[in-house]
Amino acid sequence: MVVDLVRAYTDPAGPFALPEADSVVAATAELVDAARTGGHPVFWTEVRYSPGMADGGLFARKVPALRAFAAGAEGGWGEQALTPGPAEVLVSKQYASAFFGTSFAATLTTAGVDTLVVAGVSTSGCVRATAMDALNHGFRPLVVEQACGDRTRALHENNLADLDAKYADVVDAAEALERLRAPLSPAPGSR
Rounded to whole angstroms, the Cα distance separating 142 from 179 reads: 11
Task: Give the CA distances from residue 95 to residues 55, 71, 182, in Å, rounded to whole numbers and listed in that order.
Answer: 10, 15, 33
Q: Which of 126, 129, 131, 170 is catalytic?
A: 126
Q: Is 36 exposed, middle or buried (0-12, 13-18, 19+ CB in 10 A)?
A: middle
Catalytic-residue membership of 148: no
Which residues lie across from 110 on neighbouring strands? none
* Numbers of helices and strands, H then E, in the chain: 7, 6
Rounded to whole angstroms, the Cα distance separating 105 from 139 reads: 9
Rounded to whole angstroms, the Cα distance separating 60 from 57 reads: 6
Residue pair 32/25 in contact (Cβ under 8 Å)? The answer is no
- CA angle (64, 65, 66) in 5-degree steps: 85
**Residues taking part in catalysis:** 126
